Amino acid sequence: MILTAVYTATFVLLSVAGLLTLARLLVGPTDLDRIVALDVLVILIVAGVTVEIGMRREGWNIALVAVVSLLGFLGSATAAAACRTGCFRHDLLVMDDLARHREQQAAAVDVAGDRTGDRRPPLRRG
């Protein structure tokens, strides 16, 4: 009886965490947020299957948990390697375009004579 309540509470908490993770996956402003959300979703699925294994006291699907965990780890390692090599440069390019646009606006204001001397030095490209 008490274990049934614990299993139910665990599934409810995992479901709430899954919904919040799906929200981050859909709304996440950057690709890295979405990748982390997918990784957390895999962890939540593994946790749910593990709780189900404990609830039913059957061990035939432990191999499924091991395979899904391994796939989640490989996905995280691949995403980390992609971040390290710069495959997710889209966010950096958007920020660079925004900085360039602000510089152009500041130059236009300086030419108009509205606010002279307020211009910051240009950003260096690395």
Tokens 């479901």 correspond to: 15
C-alpha to C-alpha distance for 55 and 44, rounded to whole angstroms: 16
pLDDT in tens, 4-52: 899 999 999 999 999 999 999 898 787 778 888 888 999 999 999 899 8
φ/ψ region of 121 (left if φ > 0, alpha if ψ in -120 to 50, else beta) reads: beta
Q: Answer yes or no: is pLDDT of 90 > 90.
A: no
Residue 14 main-chain phi, psi, to 5 deg: -65, -35
Nearest Cα neighbor of 62 from 73, 49, 74, 71 is 49
Q: Which helix (H) or strand (E) holds 83?
A: helix 62-85
Tokens 């152009």 correspond to: 104
Task: Tell me the average pLDDT across 87-111.
Answer: 65
Task: Tell me the average pLDDT across 58-86.
Answer: 82
C-alpha to C-alpha distance for 11 and 52, rounded to whole angstroms: 9
C-alpha to C-alpha distance for 113 and 6, rounded to whole angstroms: 70
Q: Label residue 40 exposed, middle or buried (CB < 10 Å: 0-12, 13-18, 19+).
A: middle
What share of the chain in percent tops pLDDT 90? 22
pLDDT of residue 28: 79
